[in-house]
Homo-oligomer: A and B are copies of this chain.
Amino acid sequence: MDNTIDRLLESYGKSPVTAKIGRSPQPNKETVVKIIGLLQKLIFPGFFEQKKLSREFVRYYIGEILEEIKYNLEKQMKKAFLCAEENAAPEDVSDARVDAISRSFFEKLPIIRDYMETDVEAAFEGDPAAYSRDEVIYSYPGIYAIMVARIAHELYLLDVPLIPRIMTEHAHSVTGIDIHPGATIGKYFCIDHGTGIVIGETTIIGEHVKIYQGVTLGGLSTSGGQKLKGVRRHPTIEDNVTIYSGASILGGDTVIGEGSVIGGNAFVVTSVKPNTRVTIKNPELEYQPKN
């Protein structure tokens, strides 16, 4: 056993990139997931409580949850900054710095709520299988993924490192929907089923857009790798566009004009004019008797 330990120690010495020894620890995933849960309670109050949320106490309820978010979020942000800023010392990430960020973030909460209300409306109105808005809020993975993306996007805009991605990867794991925190998404966004959806970092999505499972809004090629950082690599989807399952829309110059419909499995790498229906011309299907 000592031999295995020696070889592992040697490996840690040789490859320090994959061995975080004597370096600042990462933000804690479980706590980040807990923060999402607390934000969900502010955004959809009463839906994720076991007991009836009474009107008499709702103000205290909000205050207490805000406090818990503030405490946890600031602690995790400190960890994130210390990880991301190589030579930072604990005193470089001041209380005041993270306090300012969390206050800016809190100002966005009512706005996130406004957006989410439109997303719930779009999901309910667009799905005959939805029995009530309550069901949509409580059990639709699309709503969860969009909520997490909207939260993470605000933190991304505030230049918080690591945490936004941990948030969206959690939603990715739970829903199969992979939305990068950098993506800009308009109101009334509707995701149906959702598994396999990928939405890249520089994507811009307008209002009243609906996408189905397996849709990719991606880059044309990533062979450029790290050299492409910061470059616009993902498409623009204008208002009132619907994209059916399995379609791929790729490239930073690709714009899907407003009101267009992209058919299932379509592979689109150039811009599409407004109000266009794009479908795969061929293939036809071949029907043969089974032998």
Contacts and interface: CB of A to CB of B under 8 A. Distances in A.
Interface of A: 1, 4-5, 7-12, 15, 17-26, 28-29, 42-64, 66-67, 71, 83-84, 106-107, 109-110, 113-114, 116-117, 120, 124-135, 137-141, 161-162, 165-166, 169, 172-176, 178, 180, 182, 192-193, 195-196, 198, 200-201, 213-214, 216, 218-219, 222-231, 233, 242, 245-246, 248, 259-261, 264-268, 272-273, 275-291
Contacts of A64: 57, 60-61, 63-64
B60 A62 contact: yes
A143 to B, nearest CB: 10
Given A4-B109, A213-B198, A285-B278, A18 B63 contact: no
Contacts of A56: 1
Give 5 nearest A-B pairs by CB, closest first.
A60-B63, A20-B46, A64-B64, A128-B228, A282-B283
A62 B9 contact: yes
Given A60-B66, A128-B222, A216-B245, 13 more contacts: A8-B110, A21-B55, A23-B46, A24-B52, A60-B67, A84-B132, A128-B225, A139-B169, A176-B195, A198-B213, A214-B246, A267-B285, A277-B291
